[in-house]
Chain A
Amino acid sequence: MKARVTVTLKNGVLDPQGKAIEGALHSLGVEGIASVRQGKIFEIEVEGSDAEAAKAALVAASEKLLANTVVENYRVELL
């Protein structure tokens, strides 16, 4: 089963990398960009076909390692 975990910075956490990308887009002349926040996507292959068990494993992975919940949120999706 394919799954995706998306990790993003919480609102209010300063994101200097996002800011730099935003500045670069402006200097490249890409119009209409209001702001950029950078995050991470993990593409994960889960064993078995039990959706509940897969979700539980992905939440455990996110809580234990993929996200630092002090500053990051995560979202788990089965694809």
Chain B
Amino acid sequence: MKAAVVLFPGSNREGDAARALRQAGAQTSIVWHADYDLPAGTDLVVLPGGFSYGDYLRCGAIAGRAHIMEAVRRHAARGGLVLGICNGFQILCESGLLPGVLMRNRDLRFVCKRQHLRVERNDTAFTRAYRLHQAIDVAIAHGEGNYEAEAETIERLEGEGLVAFRYCDASGKVGGAANPNGSTNDIAGIYSEKFNVLGMMPHPENLIDPLVGGVDGRGLFESLSRAA
């Protein structure tokens, strides 16, 4: 598995993402946003969390139109794997690689805490190491994570099984008070039509070491490492 983590001005989780990938055995490099090409043989592109371009205009709007995103688009069109975490998810939506948009959190607060997610399917390149409907304990840190899309888009995502993760409580019960940001249908992450692009607001890369209180995030990177 050869992974490339894209660094935009204002990204700040690229080191965390790279550490999680390397721990899972992936050969990982950092790629600058103004580059036109991905390293040869890249299997997986990761768009990390942070505040690219200071969240100016809209979160992810300017990064979504960076030079490297053309290469990411070609990579995705070839069936290559793409993972967008937090700001990376916002960038994927802004670039058109995933549908919908991440709006301000329902209560207008930046939410930074541990959060459980229910794994909606475990037959994708991203989630094979998890059990179906496993409640994984990861972290969230965002002000704009409220996933919204047109009604037909939500219907299509649900109908085609493209919802990757939903916000849940520790017992796996989805929604209600477990939804931290008002996201439609408690959506925490979605796949592209071919399941090779995943965008998610939570940070699995931050829960990979017992030192920080949990390792539930490892499954995602181990799944990816085994995928190629």
Contact = CB atoms under 8 A, between A and B. Distances in A.
B100 A70 contact: yes
Given A65-B65, A68-B94, A71-B101, A13 B148 contact: yes
B108 A65 contact: no
Interface string B109-152: 00000000000000000000000000000000000001011100
Contact of B61 (A16, A20, A65): A65
A66 interface: yes
A17 B104 contact: yes
Contacts, number: 37
Q: How many of chain B's residues touch chain A, expressed as a range? A: 20 to 34
A53 interface: no
A44 interface: no
Interface residues of A, number: 11
Nearest to B184: A14
Interface string B58-95: 10011001000000000000000000000000000110
A14 B108 CA distance: 12
A14 B148 contact: yes
Contacts of A16: 103-108, 146, 182
A33 B148 CA distance: 27
Contacts of B94: 68
B212 interface: no
Interface in A50-65: 64-65
Interface in A26-73: 64-66, 68, 70-71
A68 B101 CA distance: 8
Given A65-B57, A65-B65, A20 B108 contact: yes
A17 B94 CA distance: 20
Given A64-B65, A65-B57, A65-B65, A70 B108 contact: no
Given A13-B148, A14-B148, A16-B103, A68 B61 contact: yes
Nearest to B149: A70
Contacts of B62: 65
Contacts of A20: 108
Interface string A12-26: 011011001000000
Nearest to A10: B150
B106 A68 contact: no
Interface of A: 13-14, 16-17, 20, 64-66, 68, 70-71
11 contacts: A13-B148, A14-B103, A14-B106, A14-B182, A16-B105, A16-B107, A17-B104, A64-B65, A65-B65, A68-B58, A68-B61
Given A13-B148, A68-B61, 4 more contacts: A14-B146, A20-B108, A65-B57, A68-B58
Interface of B: 57-58, 61-62, 65, 93-94, 99-101, 103-108, 146, 148-150, 182
